[in-house]
Amino acid sequence: MSNVKFNQSGEAQSTSTTTTGETEEEIQDDWTDYQFKGEAKLSVSDLDVHYGADHALKGVSMEIPEESVTALIGPSGCGKSTFLRCLNRMNDRISAAEVDGSVELDGEEIYQDRVNLVELRKRVGMVFQSPNPFPKSVKDNISYGPRKHGDIKTGLVAQMLGRANKDEEDELVERALRNAALWDEVKDRLDDNALGLSGGQQQRLCIARCLAVDSEVILMDEPASALDPIATAKIEDLVTDLAEKYTVVVVTHNMQQAARISDQTAVFLTGGELVEYDKTEKIFENPESQRVEDYVSGKFG
Protein backbone atom coordinates (compact mmCIF):
# COMPACT_ATOMS: atom_id res chain seq x y z
CA MET A 1 0.00 0.00 0.00
CA SER A 2 1.22 3.49 -0.68
CA ASN A 3 0.58 6.66 1.14
CA VAL A 4 1.63 9.43 -1.18
CA LYS A 5 1.51 13.07 -0.32
CA PHE A 6 3.17 16.13 -1.77
CA ASN A 7 4.44 19.01 0.24
CA GLN A 8 4.05 22.58 -0.94
CA SER A 9 7.35 22.68 -2.77
CA GLY A 10 6.24 19.66 -4.78
CA GLU A 11 8.48 17.14 -3.08
CA ALA A 12 6.91 13.76 -2.64
CA GLN A 13 6.84 12.04 0.70
CA SER A 14 6.17 8.35 0.74
CA THR A 15 6.19 5.35 2.97
CA SER A 16 5.47 2.97 0.13
CA THR A 17 6.94 -0.28 -1.01
CA THR A 18 7.21 -0.81 -4.74
CA THR A 19 5.61 -3.54 -6.81
CA THR A 20 7.30 -2.40 -10.03
CA GLY A 21 10.82 -3.56 -9.29
CA GLU A 22 12.24 -0.05 -8.88
CA THR A 23 13.91 0.89 -5.67
CA GLU A 24 12.11 3.33 -3.46
CA GLU A 25 14.93 5.87 -4.09
CA GLU A 26 14.37 5.66 -7.87
CA ILE A 27 10.68 6.26 -7.43
CA GLN A 28 11.40 9.11 -5.04
CA ASP A 29 13.62 10.62 -7.74
CA ASP A 30 10.77 10.47 -10.24
CA TRP A 31 8.36 12.03 -7.86
CA THR A 32 10.62 14.86 -6.86
CA ASP A 33 10.65 15.92 -10.53
CA TYR A 34 7.02 16.83 -10.08
CA GLN A 35 6.59 20.47 -9.24
CA PHE A 36 3.25 22.00 -8.50
CA LYS A 37 2.35 24.86 -10.75
CA GLY A 38 1.88 26.95 -7.62
CA GLU A 39 1.20 26.84 -3.93
CA ALA A 40 -1.22 24.39 -2.33
CA LYS A 41 -4.69 25.93 -2.39
CA LEU A 42 -6.19 23.21 -0.21
CA SER A 43 -4.31 21.06 2.29
CA VAL A 44 -6.15 18.02 3.55
CA SER A 45 -4.73 16.10 6.53
CA ASP A 46 -5.90 12.88 8.16
CA LEU A 47 -9.44 13.24 6.95
CA ASP A 48 -11.90 10.64 8.22
CA VAL A 49 -15.61 10.53 7.47
CA HIS A 50 -18.13 8.21 9.10
CA TYR A 51 -21.78 7.84 8.24
CA GLY A 52 -22.90 6.11 11.41
CA ALA A 53 -20.98 2.83 11.47
CA ASP A 54 -19.88 3.19 7.82
CA HIS A 55 -16.28 4.43 7.65
CA ALA A 56 -16.45 6.18 4.26
CA LEU A 57 -13.05 7.95 4.17
CA LYS A 58 -9.95 6.74 5.97
CA GLY A 59 -7.09 9.03 6.91
CA VAL A 60 -6.90 10.94 3.63
CA SER A 61 -4.09 13.48 3.27
CA MET A 62 -3.34 15.42 0.10
CA GLU A 63 -2.41 18.85 -1.11
CA ILE A 64 -4.35 20.37 -3.97
CA PRO A 65 -2.35 22.90 -5.94
CA GLU A 66 -3.83 26.20 -7.06
CA GLU A 67 -4.62 26.97 -10.70
CA SER A 68 -4.70 23.38 -11.83
CA VAL A 69 -7.11 20.51 -12.35
CA THR A 70 -7.09 17.67 -9.83
CA ALA A 71 -9.07 14.58 -10.82
CA LEU A 72 -10.53 12.17 -8.29
CA ILE A 73 -11.14 8.69 -9.65
CA GLY A 74 -12.13 5.33 -8.20
CA PRO A 75 -14.93 2.77 -8.17
CA SER A 76 -18.46 3.53 -7.07
CA GLY A 77 -18.81 3.96 -3.32
CA CYS A 78 -15.11 4.61 -2.62
CA GLY A 79 -15.80 8.05 -1.18
CA LYS A 80 -15.08 10.52 -4.00
CA SER A 81 -18.24 12.59 -3.50
CA THR A 82 -17.79 12.40 0.26
CA PHE A 83 -14.26 13.77 -0.11
CA LEU A 84 -15.38 16.53 -2.47
CA ARG A 85 -18.11 17.62 -0.05
CA CYS A 86 -15.53 17.88 2.73
CA LEU A 87 -13.76 20.64 0.81
CA ASN A 88 -16.56 23.16 1.30
CA ARG A 89 -18.26 21.54 4.30
CA MET A 90 -21.29 20.38 2.34
CA ASN A 91 -21.21 17.27 4.56
CA ASP A 92 -22.36 19.53 7.41
CA ARG A 93 -25.77 19.28 5.78
CA ILE A 94 -25.84 15.48 6.10
CA SER A 95 -26.78 14.74 9.69
CA ALA A 96 -25.25 11.23 9.66
CA ALA A 97 -21.86 12.49 8.46
CA GLU A 98 -19.11 12.90 11.01
CA VAL A 99 -15.93 14.55 9.72
CA ASP A 100 -12.58 14.44 11.53
CA GLY A 101 -9.28 15.85 10.39
CA SER A 102 -8.20 19.08 8.81
CA VAL A 103 -8.82 20.99 5.58
CA GLU A 104 -6.99 24.26 5.08
CA LEU A 105 -7.92 26.76 2.41
CA ASP A 106 -5.00 29.11 1.76
CA GLY A 107 -3.55 27.94 5.08
CA GLU A 108 -6.73 28.61 7.10
CA GLU A 109 -8.61 25.77 8.74
CA ILE A 110 -12.13 25.52 7.35
CA TYR A 111 -13.25 23.18 10.15
CA GLN A 112 -13.27 25.75 12.90
CA ASP A 113 -16.39 27.10 14.54
CA ARG A 114 -16.10 30.68 13.43
CA VAL A 115 -15.95 29.91 9.70
CA ASN A 116 -18.75 31.62 7.77
CA LEU A 117 -20.18 28.80 5.66
CA VAL A 118 -21.86 31.12 3.15
CA GLU A 119 -18.52 32.82 2.52
CA LEU A 120 -16.70 29.46 2.39
CA ARG A 121 -19.11 28.08 -0.22
CA LYS A 122 -18.75 31.24 -2.23
CA ARG A 123 -14.97 30.77 -2.31
CA VAL A 124 -15.30 27.03 -2.88
CA GLY A 125 -18.19 26.56 -5.31
CA MET A 126 -19.74 23.32 -6.42
CA VAL A 127 -21.16 21.96 -9.66
CA PHE A 128 -23.17 18.76 -9.49
CA GLN A 129 -23.72 15.79 -11.78
CA SER A 130 -27.16 17.00 -12.91
CA PRO A 131 -27.25 20.67 -13.83
CA ASN A 132 -29.42 22.49 -11.30
CA PRO A 133 -30.19 26.00 -12.61
CA PHE A 134 -32.83 27.99 -10.76
CA PRO A 135 -36.20 28.13 -12.59
CA LYS A 136 -35.48 31.76 -13.45
CA SER A 137 -34.09 33.62 -16.42
CA VAL A 138 -30.55 32.96 -17.64
CA LYS A 139 -29.58 36.41 -16.43
CA ASP A 140 -31.15 36.00 -12.99
CA ASN A 141 -29.33 32.71 -12.53
CA ILE A 142 -26.06 34.61 -12.80
CA SER A 143 -26.98 37.75 -10.87
CA TYR A 144 -28.70 35.93 -7.99
CA GLY A 145 -25.41 35.08 -6.20
CA PRO A 146 -23.76 38.50 -6.53
CA ARG A 147 -27.00 40.13 -5.33
CA LYS A 148 -27.19 37.80 -2.34
CA HIS A 149 -23.58 38.50 -1.45
CA GLY A 150 -24.05 42.24 -1.91
CA ASP A 151 -21.71 42.50 -4.89
CA ILE A 152 -24.60 44.01 -6.87
CA LYS A 153 -26.62 46.49 -4.87
CA THR A 154 -30.36 45.91 -4.67
CA GLY A 155 -33.38 47.70 -3.20
CA LEU A 156 -33.06 51.34 -2.27
CA VAL A 157 -29.37 51.52 -3.11
CA ALA A 158 -30.07 50.12 -6.55
CA GLN A 159 -32.82 52.68 -7.12
CA MET A 160 -30.50 55.47 -6.10
CA LEU A 161 -27.81 54.18 -8.43
CA GLY A 162 -30.34 53.81 -11.25
CA ARG A 163 -28.83 52.83 -14.56
CA ALA A 164 -25.31 52.56 -13.33
CA ASN A 165 -26.41 49.58 -11.31
CA LYS A 166 -28.03 47.92 -14.29
CA ASP A 167 -24.85 48.40 -16.31
CA GLU A 168 -22.87 46.81 -13.52
CA GLU A 169 -25.18 43.80 -13.46
CA ASP A 170 -25.17 43.42 -17.25
CA GLU A 171 -21.39 43.56 -17.31
CA LEU A 172 -21.09 40.96 -14.60
CA VAL A 173 -23.55 38.63 -16.33
CA GLU A 174 -21.74 38.96 -19.65
CA ARG A 175 -18.31 38.39 -18.13
CA ALA A 176 -19.41 35.26 -16.26
CA LEU A 177 -21.13 33.83 -19.34
CA ARG A 178 -18.15 34.60 -21.57
CA ASN A 179 -15.76 32.98 -19.11
CA ALA A 180 -17.99 29.91 -19.02
CA ALA A 181 -17.92 29.73 -22.86
CA LEU A 182 -21.68 30.25 -23.02
CA TRP A 183 -22.17 33.88 -24.01
CA ASP A 184 -22.44 33.37 -27.76
CA GLU A 185 -25.10 30.70 -27.32
CA VAL A 186 -27.31 32.63 -24.89
CA LYS A 187 -26.72 36.33 -25.53
CA ASP A 188 -30.11 36.63 -27.27
CA ARG A 189 -31.90 34.53 -24.65
CA LEU A 190 -30.87 36.24 -21.43
CA ASP A 191 -34.46 36.73 -20.32
CA ASP A 192 -35.58 33.20 -21.20
CA ASN A 193 -36.03 30.57 -18.54
CA ALA A 194 -32.76 28.70 -17.95
CA LEU A 195 -34.61 25.39 -17.84
CA GLY A 196 -35.10 25.79 -21.60
CA LEU A 197 -31.35 25.50 -22.25
CA SER A 198 -29.78 22.19 -23.27
CA GLY A 199 -28.18 20.04 -20.57
CA GLY A 200 -24.68 21.09 -21.60
CA GLN A 201 -25.66 24.76 -21.63
CA GLN A 202 -27.29 24.40 -18.22
CA GLN A 203 -24.10 22.86 -16.86
CA ARG A 204 -22.00 25.73 -18.20
CA LEU A 205 -24.54 28.12 -16.68
CA CYS A 206 -23.96 26.44 -13.32
CA ILE A 207 -20.22 26.94 -13.78
CA ALA A 208 -20.88 30.59 -14.74
CA ARG A 209 -22.73 31.03 -11.44
CA CYS A 210 -19.56 30.04 -9.58
CA LEU A 211 -17.52 32.48 -11.68
CA ALA A 212 -20.02 35.28 -11.01
CA VAL A 213 -19.40 35.13 -7.27
CA ASP A 214 -15.64 34.93 -7.78
CA SER A 215 -15.22 31.39 -6.52
CA GLU A 216 -11.55 30.49 -6.20
CA VAL A 217 -12.04 26.74 -6.13
CA ILE A 218 -14.63 24.92 -8.24
CA LEU A 219 -15.61 21.42 -7.15
CA MET A 220 -17.27 19.32 -9.85
CA ASP A 221 -18.91 15.97 -9.19
CA GLU A 222 -19.09 14.09 -12.51
CA PRO A 223 -20.05 17.29 -14.32
CA ALA A 224 -20.32 15.70 -17.76
CA SER A 225 -21.71 12.27 -16.99
CA ALA A 226 -25.24 13.28 -18.02
CA LEU A 227 -24.11 14.95 -21.27
CA ASP A 228 -23.60 13.86 -24.86
CA PRO A 229 -20.07 13.73 -26.33
CA ILE A 230 -20.20 17.21 -27.90
CA ALA A 231 -21.46 18.86 -24.71
CA THR A 232 -18.89 16.85 -22.76
CA ALA A 233 -16.09 18.12 -24.98
CA LYS A 234 -17.18 21.71 -24.32
CA ILE A 235 -17.12 21.12 -20.57
CA GLU A 236 -13.68 19.52 -20.83
CA ASP A 237 -12.32 22.48 -22.83
CA LEU A 238 -13.83 24.86 -20.31
CA VAL A 239 -12.33 23.02 -17.34
CA THR A 240 -8.90 23.15 -18.96
CA ASP A 241 -9.26 26.90 -19.57
CA LEU A 242 -10.54 27.56 -16.05
CA ALA A 243 -7.37 26.09 -14.58
CA GLU A 244 -5.48 29.19 -15.71
CA LYS A 245 -7.20 31.12 -12.96
CA TYR A 246 -9.09 28.71 -10.75
CA THR A 247 -8.40 25.58 -8.75
CA VAL A 248 -10.62 22.85 -10.13
CA VAL A 249 -11.25 19.52 -8.42
CA VAL A 250 -13.25 17.13 -10.55
CA VAL A 251 -14.69 13.69 -9.83
CA THR A 252 -15.03 11.54 -12.91
CA HIS A 253 -15.75 7.92 -13.74
CA ASN A 254 -14.30 8.45 -17.17
CA MET A 255 -10.59 7.61 -17.10
CA GLN A 256 -9.90 9.10 -20.53
CA GLN A 257 -11.48 12.29 -19.32
CA ALA A 258 -9.30 12.36 -16.20
CA ALA A 259 -6.24 11.75 -18.38
CA ARG A 260 -7.24 14.51 -20.82
CA ILE A 261 -8.12 17.28 -18.44
CA SER A 262 -6.22 16.89 -15.19
CA ASP A 263 -2.75 17.84 -14.00
CA GLN A 264 -2.78 15.43 -11.05
CA THR A 265 -4.97 12.48 -10.22
CA ALA A 266 -5.96 10.96 -6.91
CA VAL A 267 -7.08 7.34 -6.95
CA PHE A 268 -9.45 6.24 -4.22
CA LEU A 269 -10.24 2.56 -3.88
CA THR A 270 -12.96 0.64 -2.10
CA GLY A 271 -12.92 1.28 1.61
CA GLY A 272 -12.40 5.02 1.37
CA GLU A 273 -8.65 4.95 1.02
CA LEU A 274 -6.56 7.33 -1.08
CA VAL A 275 -4.24 4.78 -2.63
CA GLU A 276 -2.16 6.94 -4.94
CA TYR A 277 -1.88 10.62 -5.79
CA ASP A 278 0.50 11.84 -8.42
CA LYS A 279 0.98 13.61 -11.70
CA THR A 280 -1.75 12.37 -14.06
CA GLU A 281 0.71 10.91 -16.59
CA LYS A 282 2.36 8.88 -13.88
CA ILE A 283 -0.95 7.50 -12.62
CA PHE A 284 -1.99 6.39 -16.08
CA GLU A 285 1.35 5.34 -17.51
CA ASN A 286 3.36 4.04 -14.60
CA PRO A 287 1.42 3.91 -11.37
CA GLU A 288 3.26 2.75 -8.35
CA SER A 289 0.57 0.52 -6.90
CA GLN A 290 -0.57 -2.69 -8.58
CA ARG A 291 -4.12 -2.00 -7.45
CA VAL A 292 -4.07 1.36 -9.22
CA GLU A 293 -2.60 -0.20 -12.35
CA ASP A 294 -5.40 -2.80 -12.33
CA TYR A 295 -7.99 -0.09 -11.84
CA VAL A 296 -6.78 2.32 -14.53
CA SER A 297 -6.28 -0.51 -17.02
CA GLY A 298 -9.91 -1.54 -16.47
CA LYS A 299 -9.28 -4.84 -14.71
CA PHE A 300 -11.86 -3.92 -12.08
CA GLY A 301 -14.17 -1.11 -11.03
Ligand X SMILES: Nc1ncnc2c1ncn2[C@@H]1O[C@H](COP(=O)(O)OP(=O)(O)OP(=O)(O)O)[C@@H](O)[C@H]1O
Interface residues toward ligand X, by CB under 6 A: 51, 54, 56, 74, 76-82, 94, 96
Q: Which is nearer to ligand X, 72 or 152 (CB)?
A: 72
Smallest gap, in angstroms, from Cβ of residue 145 to ligand X?
Answer: 25
Residue ranges in 34-86 assigned as alpha helix (H): 80-86
The backbone torsions φ and ψ at residue 103, rounded to the nearest 5 degrees and listed phi first, read: -130, 120
Q: In sequence order, what are the residues at sequence separation of 6 or more whose Cβ sits closer than 8 angstroms to the Cβ of residue 249? A: 42, 64, 69, 70, 72, 84, 87, 217, 218, 219, 220
Q: Please, what is the minimum distance in Å from the beta carbon of residue 130 to Mg ion?
A: 12
Q: How far is the CB of 58 from ligand X (least distance, A)?
A: 11
Q: How far is the CB of 272 from ligand X (least distance, A)?
A: 7
Q: Is 232 in the site for Mg ion (CB under 5 A)?
A: no
Cβ nearer to Mg ion, comparing 81 with 88: 81
In 124-248, alpha helices (H) = 138-148, 155-161, 163-179, 183-186, 199-212, 229-242
Strand partners, 263: none
- Which 45-74 positions form the footprint of Mg ion (CB under 5 A)? none
The count of other CB atoms within 10 Å of the CB of residue 54 is 12
Decide which of ligand X, Mg ion, none touches 117; Cβ closer than 5 to 8 Å per partner kind.
Answer: none
CB of 143 or CB of 252, closer to Mg ion = 252
End-to-end Cα spacing for the chain: 18
**Parallel/antiparallel/unpaired status of strands 264-269 and 247-251:** unpaired
Which of Mg ion, ligand X, none does residue 79 bind to, with CB < 5 to 8 Å depending on kind? Answer: ligand X
Closest distance of CB 196 from Mg ion, Å: 28
Contact assessment for residue 63 and residue 80, using Cβ atoms and an 8 Å cutoff: no
Q: Nearest residue to Mg ion, using CB?
A: 81
Residue 124 or residue 180: which is nearer to Mg ion going by CB? 124
Question: Taking CB under 5 A as the rule, does residue 280 contact Mg ion?
Answer: no
264 binds Mg ion (CB under 5 A): no
| Residue 82 interacts with, from ligand X, Mg ion, none (CB under 5-8 Å by kind) | ligand X
**Is 141 an interacting residue with respect to Mg ion (CB under 5 A)?**
no
Q: Considering beta carbons, is residue 56 or 259 the nearer one to Mg ion?
A: 56
Separation between Cα atoms, residue 98 and residue 60, nearest integer Å:
14
Q: Give min distance, CB of 127 to ligand X, in A.
A: 15
Phi-psi group of 5: left, alpha or beta (phi > 0 → left; psi -120 to 50 → alpha; rest → beta): beta
Query: How many other β-carbons are positioned within 10 Å of the β-carbon of residue 23?
Result: 9
Q: Of the candidates 2, 43, 70, 81, which one interacts with Mg ion according to CB under 5 A?
A: 81
Chain residues in the site for Mg ion (CB under 5 A): 81
